[in-house]
């Protein structure tokens, strides 16, 4: 079977779910050739992805975890910053690094953020719904996760607008399918904020990190900045995609609204499964020769895990292409599995739940007012324009 899973047009204009369905059925551990690289394995079945993610000794993250790490020519501009932080670190350092940030993300710590999340959502929807026609991506979805991460890290409110503009290339998405000039300004911003918090600590995550120790030493400034940038990158694009994709799913399936209002936490799980707003695939590198479903994966080879495919695997989900907010059980793997399970899962769930709660309260009806544009990228699986008309 000849497929090119690295072609950004597949995600902008094609039907990647049809390609993944075919791979699951005919070649679930597929050797994928590359024009500019050594090739890689594409894993599309739920059980294989779960097994690989649960074995961080055989399948490490240090070789890079996103599609751009497959090809030396498309290295991420963030690579220098993100090169050795949480996502790309393996046990035992990984466990110690994760413990430093974990306490800000426990379900209890996150539930304390709910009043702030609700006030941020209220502000965003008051602004957006004052107009009849809006871009639901730019005017609603893109704004919320950014603001929440700023609040958590302790970015002063007066700095947020300038920072939002500084990273807007990241939000606006370039159209060449490659990595964007994303977080380049974030490291320099965080460098000065870390300095300010070292002089005058406040009640925020950056101040906690500045005083934290790792392996008996103070967490270095480079490690602190890398963690801050990671939280921005990991927490914004994913959550905004979930919100935009979830809204589109409701627009396309109006009868799903009523059961969603009746049980919003359950509907959030279906949004997460159906949209799978993660990077198109997560990468691991094999440390030894190992067999998966009868195929020999050699030490040093890259293995790509296609989460959106696993979330529609017919062995686990009946009628997986259907958006069904009453689906139970719903054991999706949108937040990953095992060692690197998403640190921000509770926070993402909270943001999505509160956002849809307030949208359903305020908007009688939301309809498309133009073409939905899918992002031309082989890194994120996302929508980056969604004109809608809102009737209150
Ligand atoms: C719907 C929204 C989100 C989705 C789908 C998502 C998905 C994921 C996935 C699949 C991973 C595992 C990566 C791997 O195995 O290599 C991950 C890791 C991570 N996520 Fe999320 N994420 C979301 C929201 C957030 C938020 C809001 C934050 C924080 C503000 C966050 C912070 C992180 C961090 C720090 C990691 C690295 C954890 C580690 O390596 O130990 N994520 N996320």
List, for residues 269-318, the tens digit of each pLDDT value: 999 999 998 777 889 999 999 999 999 999 999 999 999 999 999 999 99
How many alpha carbons lie under 13 Å from residue 79 in its C-beta half-sphere? 18
Please state, in angstroms and rounded to a whole number, the distance separating the CA atoms of residues 226 and 75.
17
* Residues at CB less than 6 angstroms from ligand 1: 61, 65, 86-87, 98, 149, 230-231, 234-235, 238-239, 242, 277-278, 282, 334-336, 340, 342-344, 347-348
Q: What φ, ψ does residue 25 adopt, rounded to 5°?
A: -75, -45
Q: How far is the CA of 368 from the centre of ligand 1 (A)?
A: 30
Please state, in angstroms and rounded to a whole number, the distance separating the CA atoms of residues 30 and 37.
16
Please state, in angstroms and rounded to a whole number, the distance separating the CA atoms of residues 50 and 230.
23
Instruction: Indicate the top mutation candidate among 94, 238, 247 to test ligand 1's pocket, ranked by most ligand atoms within 8 A of CB.
Output: 238
Instruction: Give the model's pLDDT for residue 213.
Output: 83
Those residues whose C-beta lies under 8 Å from the C-beta of residue 77, and which sit 6 or more positions away, are 179, 180, 181, 182, 183, 184
Please state, in angstroms and rounded to a whole number, the distance separating the CA atoms of residues 57 and 60.
6
Sheet with 365-368, edge to edge strand ranges: 133-135, 387-391, 365-368
Encoded tokens for 90: 């393996």
> Helix crossing, 221-252 with 185-199: angle to 10°?
120
Take atom 19 of ligand 1 and give the residue whose Cα is closest: 342
pLDDT 10s digit of each residue in the chain, 392 long? 578 998 989 999 999 999 999 999 999 999 999 888 899 999 999 999 999 999 999 999 988 776 666 764 444 444 455 556 888 888 888 988 898 888 889 988 899 999 999 999 999 999 999 998 999 999 999 999 999 999 999 999 998 887 877 665 555 444 444 444 444 478 888 999 999 999 999 989 999 888 888 777 788 888 899 899 889 888 888 999 999 999 999 999 999 999 999 999 999 999 999 999 877 788 999 999 999 999 999 999 999 999 999 999 999 999 999 999 999 999 999 999 888 999 999 999 999 999 999 999 998 899 999 999 998 888 888 899 999 999 88
How do residues 189-228 score in pLDDT, each as one tens digit?
899 999 999 999 998 999 988 888 877 778 888 889 989 9
Cα–chain center distance at 104 = 18
Model pTM score: 0.93
Residue found under tokens 């008996």: 216
Those residues whose C-beta lies under 8 Å from the C-beta of residue 280, and which sit 6 or more positions away, are 5, 11, 16, 67, 306, 308, 377, 378, 379, 380, 381
How do residues 117-135 score in pLDDT, each as one tens digit?
999 999 999 999 999 899 9
DSSP 8-state assignment for residue 140: I
Closest CA to 270 of 312, 349, 313, 330: 330
């Amino acid at each position: 079977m000849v497929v090119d899973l690295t072609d950004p047009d597949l995600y902008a204009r094609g039907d990647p779910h049809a390609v993944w369905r075919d791979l699951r059925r005919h070649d679930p551990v597929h050797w994928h050739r590359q024009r500019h690289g050594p090739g890689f394995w594409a894993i599309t079945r739920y059980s294989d992805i779960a097994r690989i993610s649960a074995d961080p000794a055989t399948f490490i993250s240090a070789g890079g975890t996103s599609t751009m790490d497959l090809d030396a020519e498309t290295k991420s501009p963030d690579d220098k910053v993100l090169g050795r932080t949480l996502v790309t670190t393996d046990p035992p350092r990984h466990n110690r690094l994760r413990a430093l940030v974990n306490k800000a993300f426990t379900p209890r710590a996150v539930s304390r953020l709910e009043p702030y999340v609700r006030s941020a959502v209220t502000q965003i929807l008051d602004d957006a719904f004052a107009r009849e026609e809006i871009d639901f991506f730019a005017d609603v979805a893109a704004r919320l996760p950014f603001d929440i991460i700023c609040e958590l890290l302790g970015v002063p409110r007066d700095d947020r607008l300038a920072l939002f503009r500084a990273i807007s290339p990241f939000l606006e998405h370039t159209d060449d399918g490659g990595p964007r000039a994303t977080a380049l300004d974030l490291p320099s911003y965080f460098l000065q904020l870390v300095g300010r918090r070292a002089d005058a600590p406040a009640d925020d995550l950056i101040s906690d990190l500045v005083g934290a120790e790792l392996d008996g030493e103070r967490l270095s400034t480079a490690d602190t900045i890398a963690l801050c940038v990671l939280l921005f990158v990991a927490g914004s694009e994913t959550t905004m995609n979930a919100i935009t994709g979830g809204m589109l799913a409701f627009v396309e399936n109006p009868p799903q609204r009523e059961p969603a209002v009746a049980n919003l936490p359950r509907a959030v799980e279906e949004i997460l499964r159906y949209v799978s707003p993660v990077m198109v695939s997560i990468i691991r590198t094999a440390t030894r020769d190992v067999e998966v479903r009868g195929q020999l994966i050699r030490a040093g080879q890259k293995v790509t895990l296609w989460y959106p495919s696993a979330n529609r695997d017919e062995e686990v989900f009946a009628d997986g292409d259907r958006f069904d907010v009453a689906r139970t059980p719903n054991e999706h793997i949108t937040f990953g599995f095992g060692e690197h399970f998403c640190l921000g899962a509770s926070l993402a769930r909270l943001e999505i739940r509160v956002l849809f709660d307030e949208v359903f309260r305020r908007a009688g009806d939301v309809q498309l007012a133009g073409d939905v544009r899918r992002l031309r990228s082989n890194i994120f699986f996302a929508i980056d324009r969604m004109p809608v008309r809102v009737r209150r």
